[in-house]
């Protein structure tokens, strides 16, 4: 069994040489979708200190408001693993997070991490070769987030802003604010949807399949190395496509690695949005981002990437990777979590919440079986998540 798994995972790594641009016929992009929904859109490129060029999108104002001379209030949205700025705009003009905040008077910025659809440029490296993909979410937090945060601050002239992150968009928040604590001052309030730091309770099928093989540095993880994560059909088979097809009448869900990893059992998914979701996802990430999460599943720690003894010694001056320090986070932080989340399990969410100094809200979505992707695309996401987030931002702004 192990040998077969090995072969399949290696074929997954080899398949990763195919560039994402040749993956499908669809080229739906954030600007087209936003324009189509009747909102203005701007593209901004920012270069990180290690040479990646990231594309951010901005909805500067709402066409439904007359507030262009009012002082700016800014909201910054950060997507999760295998996702992009598109995750905030796929529920249409009435129900999507980005538009709801825009209609509430916010200048809305949407980040894109290195390696996804919009951020596949580097001044020295090409995404066709492995060195481009030599990063995990630690680097997204340490290089991409500061570059984007500083750019937004400079461009808008505001001192601080509201933050919304989903999944890996919460992990990078924890890593950034704990490692470079000066960034706490950039945050008015932050709204963490499906917060992910500790992972020992992860129930993603990915954990069962890949963690035993990849969560420790070994020959196989060296073979896979740093690459774009592009799963093979064999990997889909392993992740239980048959189980998925039994549970979902929608073939598109079972054919999409994002659902296979994050959960396909939603009771609330907005099926009208499904064609838009599958046209824009998965949005690209490195194999190391997944492996870093698997390492956490295995170790139970919230800590930096495990390169193996020798490189750990060079990088961290000790044999094991160093821990992150979430106790440094003192920005006003709001937690939103669900009871059926394969990635952000209730037990793991509780553990990180207890280390946050200024926890303003600890909110379990008050309906059963809420899963990881429901935070983005549930039919009731406006009522359960988007409106409460908006109301909390407005309350803060009214008081300050
Ligand atoms: C579902 O998605 C479609 C397509 O984006 C959108 O028009 C509709 O408003 C969404 N429904 C809900 C309840 O969010």
CB 226 near ligand 1, within 6 Å = no
- The sign of the dihedral angle between the CA atoms of 195, 197, 198, 203 is positive
Average pLDDT over the chain reads 90
388 lines ligand 1 (CB under 6 A): no
In this prediction, residue 26 carries a pLDDT of: 52
CA distance 326 to 366: 27
216 CB-contact burial (10 Å; exposed 0-12 / middle 13-18 / buried 19+)? middle
pLDDT at 12 over 60: no
Residue 258 token pair: 């994002």
- Determine whether the shortest distance from the Cβ of 199 to ligand 1 is under 6 A: no
pLDDT at 18 > cutoff 70: no
- pLDDT over 70 percentage in the chain: 93
Looking at residue 136, its pLDDT comes to 97
Nearest to 186 by CA among 329, 59, 80: 329
Whether the CB-CB separation of 262 and 371 falls below 8 Å is answered with yes
Regarding the beta carbon of 386 and ligand 1, being less than 6 Å apart is answered: no
Which of 111-125, 149-163, 235-249, 298-312 is predicted with the least confidence, judged by mean pLDDT? 235-249
Tell me the per-residue pLDDT of 322-332, one tens digit each, with 9 for 90 and over.
Answer: 999 999 999 99
**pLDDT over 80 at 214, yes or no:** no
pLDDT of 6 above 60: no
E-assigned strand segments in the chain: 42-47, 52-59, 74-78, 107-110, 121-122, 161-166, 187-193, 333-337, 359-364
Higher pLDDT, 13 or 281: 281
H or E segment to which residue 296 belongs: helix 287-299
Q: Is the CB of 273 under 6 A from ligand 1?
A: yes
Calculate how far, in angstroms, residue 354's C-alpha sits from the geometric centre of ligand 1. Answer: 35
Q: Kindly name the residue from 79, 166, 292, 372 that is annotated as catalytic.
A: 372
Residue (of 9, 279, 21, 56) closest to 128 by Cα position: 21
CA 358 → CA 15, 171, 174, 362, distances in Å?
A: 44, 17, 13, 11
Q: Whose CA is nearest to atom 10 of ligand 1?
A: 91
The alpha carbon of 87 and the centre of ligand 1 are apart by a number of angstroms equal to 13
187 pocket-lining for ligand 1 (C-beta < 6 Å): no
Which pLDDT does position 34 carry in this prediction? 98
Residue 310 scores a pLDDT above 70: yes
CB-CB neighbours of 253 under 10 Å:
24
For ligand 1, atom 7, which residue shows the shortest CA distance?
A: 92
CA of 374 to the centre of ligand 1 (A): 13
Active site residue 266: no
pTM for this prediction: 0.93
Of 180-184, 207-211, 359-363, where does mean pLDDT reach its minimum? 207-211
- Say what the pLDDT of residue 112 is: 98
Residue 166's nearest CA partner among 281, 253, 300 is: 281
Q: Which residues have C-beta within 8 Å of that of residue 66, sequence separation ≥ 6? A: none
Higher pLDDT, 316 or 9: 316
For residue 63, the CA-to-ligand 1 centroid distance in Å is 19
Residue 372 falls in the annotated catalytic set: yes
| pLDDT for residue 206 is more than 90 | no
The encoded tokens of residue 306 equal: 């495990």
Structural domains of the chain, with CATH: 28-207+285-318+326-399 (3.40.50.1820)
pLDDT for the residue numbered 23: 42
- In sequence order, what are the residues at sequence separation of 6 or more whose Cβ sits closer than 8 angstroms to the Cβ of residue 191? 162, 163, 164, 165, 334, 336, 389, 392, 393
**Residues 390 and 100 sit within 8 Å (Cβ to Cβ):** yes
Whether the predicted pLDDT of 5 surpasses 60:
no
Question: What is the predicted pLDDT for the residue at 4?
Answer: 40
Q: For 46-65, what is the mean pLDDT?
A: 97
CB 9 within 8 A of CB 235: yes
For residue 231, what pLDDT band results from cuts at 50, 70 and 90? confident
pLDDT of residue 273: 96
CB within 8 A of 131, min separation 6: which ones?
125, 226
DSSP state of 148: H
């Amino acid at each position: 069994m192990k040998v077969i798994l090995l072969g399949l995972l290696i074929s997954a790594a080899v398949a990763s040489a195919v560039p994402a641009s040749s993956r499908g016929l669809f080229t739906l992009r954030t600007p087209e979708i936003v324009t189509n929904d009747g909102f203005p859109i701007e593209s901004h490129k920012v270069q990180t200190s290690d040479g990646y060029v990231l594309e951010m999108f901005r909805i500067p104002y709402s066409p439904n408001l007359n507030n262009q001379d009012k002082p700016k209030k800014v909201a910054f949205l950060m997507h999760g693993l295998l996702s992009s700025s598109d995750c905030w705009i796929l529920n249409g003009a009435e129900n999507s997070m980005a538009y709801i905040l825009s209609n509430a008077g916010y200048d809305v910025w949407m980040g894109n991490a290195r390696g996804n659809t919009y951020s596949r440029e580097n001044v020295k490296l090409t995404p066709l070769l492995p060195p481009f993909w030599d990063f995990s979410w630690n680097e997204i937090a340490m290089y991409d987030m500061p570059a984007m945060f500083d750019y937004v601050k400079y461009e808008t002239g505001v001192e601080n802003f509201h933050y919304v992150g989903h999944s890996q968009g919460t992990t990078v928040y924890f890593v950034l604010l704990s490692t470079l604590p000066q960034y706490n001052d950039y945050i008015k309030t932050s709204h963490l949807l499906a917060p992910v730091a500790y992972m020992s309770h992860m129930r993603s099928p990915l954990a069962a399949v890949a963690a035993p093989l990849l969560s420790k540095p070994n020959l196989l993880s060296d073979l896979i190395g740093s690459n774009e994560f592009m799963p093979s059909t064999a990997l889909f088979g392993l992740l239980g496509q048959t189980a998925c097809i039994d549970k979902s009448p929608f073939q598109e869900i079972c054919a999409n690695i994002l659902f296979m990893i994050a959960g396909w059992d939603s009771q609330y998914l907005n099926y009208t949005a499904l064609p838009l979701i599958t046209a824009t996802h998965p949005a690209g990430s490195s194999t190391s981002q997944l492996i870093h999460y698997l390492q956490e599943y295995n170790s139970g720690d919230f800590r930096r990437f495990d390169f193996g003894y020798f490189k750990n010694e060079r990088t961290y001056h000790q044999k094991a990777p160093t821990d992150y320090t979430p106790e440094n986070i003192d920005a006003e932080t709001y937690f939103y979590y669900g009871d059926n989340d394969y990635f952000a399990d209730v037990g793991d969410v509780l553990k990180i919440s207890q280390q946050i100094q200024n926890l303003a809200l600890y909110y379990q979505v008050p309906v059963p079986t809420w899963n990881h992707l429901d935070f983005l695309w549930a039919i009731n996401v406006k009522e359960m998540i988007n409106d409460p987030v908006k109301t909390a931002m407005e309350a803060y702004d009214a008081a300050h």
